[in-house]
Amino acid sequence: MRLDADNIGLIVAAVGGLALLFGLPLVVELFTLLQFTVYIVMAILALSLALIWGFGGILCFGQAVFFGLGAYAYTIAVFNIGESTVPVLLSIVVPAAFAAALGYFMFYGRLSDVYMGVVTLVVTLIFFSFMNHTAGEEYRIGASRLGGFNGIPAIPPINMPGDPGRVLWPEEMYYVAMGSLTAIYIGLRLLLRSHFGRVIVAIRENETRAELLGYDVRLHKLLIFSIGGAIAGLAGCLFANWNAFVDPTVFGLGQTAQIIIWVIVGGLGTLIGPVIGAMLLQYITTWLGTVEVANSSLVMGAILVVFVLLVPRGLVPTLQLLWQKLRGGRSDPGIVATPREAVESGDD
């Protein structure tokens, strides 16, 4: 393995991830660790949109749908099955399959970017209002009621695979979440270096050219969209576990907007940016909740406006640029994803 910037970044991520994984439980109290667990879950969710929007160029206003589907798939399955291994797998497979179906309709139907945004938003609204209307006794899947706007309480936590009696402690949930985040982050970095990943970025840059080179653009988009759905689904599963409760707000507009804000603030076209964005903004939200000085939605909105106007590239890309300027170095290094500045110019 050559020691170029990309490989160094990977090693730093792996060491940093492992240090947090094993180090944090030693230095913080259980309560803080629990708070951290949910930040990590949200960082995984942010990664899913960072991938499909920042690298795949697909603006999806419906990332909350896959998150919510993951949460509900786990919950419903675990009430029916008891042992949590299959429910965890379902929380990944169900949203991925739904993303594939939705993606098939959008990409093979050659929907334009704007309509793609509208469709994903509408799908979010449909799930939100449908789930809100399932409070009645008649809405149940097997042993699990859907609960409607009341939600589903007392969700059984993940157990050791094959041993339903041995459920994971909250502390162990932290290890699962942090381990997942590290593994997904490194997995995505490797994916983006592969031939498939490089084609995904190429498609973001110029669909026509990718197609004229013989790459099946629709299939590539479908696959990356489904991978994004799977990751968001896992985040939903971990969230249902952390919260032990799920209700239709996981499908809500607030949830969807939050994910987009994390990605914009952290930096579109990077993976680490949205991870940092999610953790930072979640931390601020929690803190605002404790001190009760300002409404947290208001503050989130203000942060978004400030970033869009003053730091449009987001935190990480801006810091990278500053760092390069300080070193008096050259401009953008190679394949690093420069987000599409403008809408693609029209054809001749």
Partner 1 sequence: MTDAPVLQTYDLTMRFGGVVAVDHVDFALKEGELRCLIGPNGAGKSTFFKCLTGQLRPTEGRITVRDHDITGAQSHEIARLGIGIKTQVPNVFDGLTARENIWLAARRGRSARAADALTDETLERLLLTSVAATPVGQLAHGQRQWVELGVVLAREPWLILLDEPAAGMTHEEVERTAALIKEINRTATLIVVEHDMQFIKMIADVVTVFHQGAILVEDNVANVMRNPKVRDVYLGKQAA
The residues binding partner 1 (CB under 8 A) are 195, 198-199, 201-202, 205-206, 208-217, 331-335, 337-338, 340, 345, 347-348
Report phi then psi at 343, rounded to 5.
-65, 145
Chain centroid, CA 90 distance in Å: 17
State which residue, 145 or 221, has the beta carbon closest to partner 1.
221
State which residue, 111 or 168, has the beta carbon closest to partner 1.
111
State which residue, 217 or 260, has the beta carbon closest to partner 1.
217
Closest CB 266 distance from partner 1, rounded Å: 19
What secondary structure does DSSP assign to 21-57, as a single string?
HHHHHHHS-HHHHHHHHHHHHHHHHHHHHIIIIIIT-
Closest CB 221 distance from partner 1, rounded Å: 13
How is residue 254 written in tokens?
């607030």
Residue 274 to residues 221, 277, 288, 316: CA-CA distances in angstroms? 21, 5, 21, 9
State which residue, 290 or 345, has the beta carbon closest to partner 1.
345
Closest CB 54 distance from partner 1, rounded Å: 12
Tell how many helices (H) and how many strands (E) occur in the chain: 13, 4
Cβ within 8 Å of residue 4, ≥6 positions away: none
Give the span between the Cα atoms of 296 and 125, in whole angstroms. 22
State which residue, 30 or 335, has the beta carbon closest to partner 1.
335
Local structure of 246: helix, strand or coil: strand
Closest CB 5 distance from partner 1, rounded Å: 12
Say if residues 153 and 146 touch (Cβ distance below 8 Å).
no
Local structure of 20: helix, strand or coil: helix
Closest CB 337 distance from partner 1, rounded Å: 7
State which residue, 113 or 205, has the beta carbon closest to partner 1.
205
Closest CB 136 distance from partner 1, rounded Å: 47
State which residue, 166 or 325, has the beta carbon closest to partner 1.
325
Closest CB 218 distance from partner 1, rounded Å: 9
- Give the residue among 186, 240, 266, 231 at the shortest CA–CA distance from 77: 240
Give the span between the Cα atoms of 92 and 68, in whole angstroms. 11
Give the span between the Cα atoms of 207 and 215, in whole angstroms. 9
Give the span between the Cα atoms of 266 and 304, in whole angstroms. 11
State which residue, 140 or 340, has the beta carbon closest to partner 1.
340
Closest CB 336 distance from partner 1, rounded Å: 9
Give the span between the Cα atoms of 292 and 111, in whole angstroms. 44
